[in-house]
Structure 1
């Protein structure tokens, strides 16, 4: 990283005293929240001093402090690079058996009606769900006389999905749509088709944990770019170019978990960066229909800035409609769509016909569902935010304009013990490290607001108790590592 680039990330530290301490704190914060990737080579002391307008002695002292704290390592002739301090693990601590990422559906809540699960950001089915199911069942006999295998998906569903993209300014035909068994299946299918073990893939940090799992299982080399403060397209472009990435995975609409919405200018620049790096750009639009203000203008899809078939879009029925509907889709070029259909047949021949018919019925009445979702999520968001401000005033978060969760900063790297303590108090939350790589984001938690307002207020009461316990724990307590 150049001195100018790091200086831009650090900001103005000249007004704080001592300046070297402020510089060290800023770099430490960049490492902990993922904006400065681990193993990033830092600029030479002289270069950073010139970029910041401070003395070289000041930068030397800041680097020394970071080295003492365990946030950088140095070797003569090789420079300095970012690391994390070693995590202390105790074999006598029973919690070490629980070390690892616990996330959502893979770990159902205990059989306790009083237990509150904030580990899964998915709401209940909408009010018109029963009517959609009944209409789909009535339609099913038209399909039951055939084999029931449609590897690309039912034509009627693909046509409605394609029309939706066309209405958003991206002309699309049904031959460009592949219906999948959920968005996760869509991303796995793309990864299996386009990525070879060892290929570099740029990911956001934080990001959707199951996408990380898919890429790890494929053997991809992960190239993280921090988005806690939004997208730094210049940084992303540099990462794509320097790492020679094959694919970049992004969530531009109400990003999971931060809730950020990528502006149009950033979308255009990101697509251009992918073009120059000769990389595929996978846009996950799972949350794109979950704006809280339906009158606000929508940002154009990433694919609207693409003229070469480089942008591949993933959609899903699970967040807008219901998590139990395992239907997703991929929008891409017609030739790649045909490749994906052939690639899925050995392990997943087709998605369920009845579920596709239900999704088709819901898409025909999608405006009703969007309205219901916007009203419910806005109530939940404001109830959760109000409770946090009252009971945990030291936590920092921004109110997203869409999506389903708050990304809250705790002020101390205690997210993992906080989550463990909360579970003992009848509350599941997901700690920040689950959403990243290398163990960073330990001072964040994701808090979905899909549950009723009164349940969310109870959840924050338990969270406040857990926070007090985790915050008062001795500094030497052993912390499980997320890997």
Structure 2
């Protein structure tokens, strides 16, 4: 089988300004060029921006594109091989891999004396997801096992989902003020699966898709993989609001017929679009004939306000806009429970069934039955989950204020993360350095397009208070290490 090779030009584009120190935009002073290049490639691998199993470009091609000596490229590749990020096989190209230490979430030991290895496994802040509430999830699966025999006589393939779960999800919408029938619900294997199905149906090659900016990183990748073109509409971060005028003008100027938005405790900012804004958004969609895909995966995680009605609640009546809602049990209960859903008109659900048959034949029955139990326990379980998140968010804010006082944040009213503004554009450098100090971070540019958000980093508060304090200590150490490089203002090394 032929090995897929990433092009030298593509890799150079994804690397961006890899030689800058992230603080001043000047060339890195302390790291040799080969080490800085290896660190930058490693970060792309950890971020998933270089897929596992592909081959890096030849040393000669990359040297030509980056205007470096071939010796520098050879040395960088050697570092990646030593650390386990490149696997060489005789007679074939070296391919990208994850070393066992990384796959097992243990820290990667630094080379060349740069950084100090952290004791114990790192705190993983790349994922904004809580651990399960063990008693409730265990009880849900026990209940599912008791209910399972009633389904064993059939084939178990329900492309729209089990009727009992579709009704439970429909009831969830009705309680939020949006009349919904089970025929308007499709059960999926998570919200990401739901988005992929919708994009497969609605987004043709080259189709413009409006997104709020920043936004959920995996949504950006899904839009690109569908052959569509994401069009960013910046959030007004200082006001904790959406630029709806910008949304209207972008829709008109690009003729976008589709938008993917996260108005419910937005990832990564935690912001929430208020009800007047939702009504206006739906009106913009109606005026521009644009379909809205509304990501509601965080809608249960309101920490400071009463959650507003779903966006689709503002789309009823004559001449209404088309609003498709995507939800999930993952953020509210447990990400290991791969249950999501789509709420749309019955005709849309029928069209999605035809699309789904090419991807999968249905969602696991046992997980659907467990989700029924968890949705039924929402009134008992979710207030406790929200209280836990408030405590963890407070602990994270206190730790950042104590150890990183020059960092700034305007916390959202819910969700799972803080969107921290750094004093200088150094997010990628910080994410590359933090594993050496016991923390795994997602760099700000992961949540945007074309290298945006180097001045930001997402800090989830989904971990325990103790883990969060430990993580901030490690991030602060990485931050100081990068700042120390600039303060020393060493001469650049030539390789």
Out of 266, 272, 288, the residue aligned to residue 277 of structure 1 is: 288
The answer for the alignment partner of 1:119 in structure 2 is 126
Cα deviation per residue 1:399-441 (whole Å; 9 max; x = unaligned)? 3221111110011000111111111111011111000001010
**Among residues 228, 231, 240, which one is paired with 1:223 in the alignment?**
231
Q: Note the C-alpha offset of 1:189.
A: 0.3
TM-score normalized by structure 1?
0.78
> Contact conserved, 2:128 with 2:417, CA < 8 A, in 1?
yes
**TM-score when normalising by structure 2:** 0.76
Q: How many angstroms does 1:249 deviate by? A: 0.7
1:291 aligns to 2:302 (yes or no): yes
Structure 1 residues 79-228: aligned runs within 5 Å: 90=33, 93=36, 94-100=38-44, 102-103=46-47, 108=103, 110-111=105-106, 113-126=120-133, 127-227=135-235, 228=237
Paired with 1:471 and 1:333, the residues of 2 have a C-alpha distance of 54
Measured in 2, the distance between the counterparts of 1:415 and 1:101 equals 16
Quickly say closer, same or farther: Cα 1:171–1:399, change in 2 above 3 A: same
> What residue is the counterpart of 1:419 in the other structure?
431
Residues 337-356 of structure 1: pairs in structure 2 closer than 5 A? 337-356=349-368
| Separation of aligned partners in 1, 2:234 and 2:282 | 18
- Which residue number corresponds to residue 112 of structure 2? none
Q: CA deviation at 1:471?
A: 2.4
Deviation at 1:291, TM superposition (A): 1.2
Aligned to 1:237: 248
CA contact (8 A) 1:168 1:300 kept: yes
Question: Secondary structure of the equivalent of 2:155?
Answer: coil
Partner of 2:379: 367
- Residue of structure 1 aligned with 2:345, choices 316, 320, 333: 333
Secondary structure in structure 1 of the residue aligned to 2:407: coil
Name the count of aligned residue pairs: 392
- Which residue of 297, 308, 320 maps to 2:332? 320
1:104 and 1:120 in contact (8 A); partners too: no
CA distance in 2, matches of 1:332, 1:271: 15
Is 1:445 aligned to residue 389 of structure 2?
A: no
| Cα 1:86/1:109, change in 2 over 3 Å | farther
Provide Cα deviations, 1:87-118, integer angstroms capped at 9, x if missing partner: 99955632132252744999755246531101
What corresponds to 2:268 in structure 1?
Answer: 257
Is contact 2:302-2:386 (8 Å) kept? yes
- 125-134 vs 439-448, greater mean Cα deviation: 125-134
Q: 1:272–1:87: structure 2 CA closer, same or farther, 3 Å change rule?
A: farther
Partners of 2:223 and 2:26 in 1: how far apart? 25
Paired residue secondary structure (2:299):
coil
State the alpha-carbon separation in 2 of the partners of residues 185 and 297 from structure 1: 28
Q: Secondary structure at the match of 1:326?
A: coil
Q: Distance in 2 between matches of 1:135 and 1:278?
A: 45
Report if the CA contact (8 A) 1:422-1:466 is conserved: yes
1:136–1:174 distance in 2 versus 1, CA, 3 Å = same
**SS in structure 2 of the partner of residue 149 of structure 1:** coil
Matches of 2:343 and 2:490, distance apart in 1: 50
1:434 match:
446
Unmatched runs of 5 consecutive residues or more in structure 1: 1-84, 479-483
Please give the secondary structure, in 2, of the residue aligned with 1:430.
coil
Structure 1 vs Structure 2 CA RMSD: 2.2
Give the gaps of 5 or more residues in structure 2.
1-24, 52-101, 108-119
C-alpha change, 1:390 and 1:289, in structure 2 (3 Å) is: same
Give per-residue Cα distances to partners, 1:299-332, cap 9 Å, x unaligned. 1110011133510000001100101011100000
| Residues 146/309 of structure 1: CA separation in 2 closer, same or farther (3 Å cut) | farther
Which SS does the other structure have where 1:445 is aligned?
Answer: strand
Q: Is the Cα contact below 8 Å between 2:289 and 2:321 reproduced in 1?
A: no
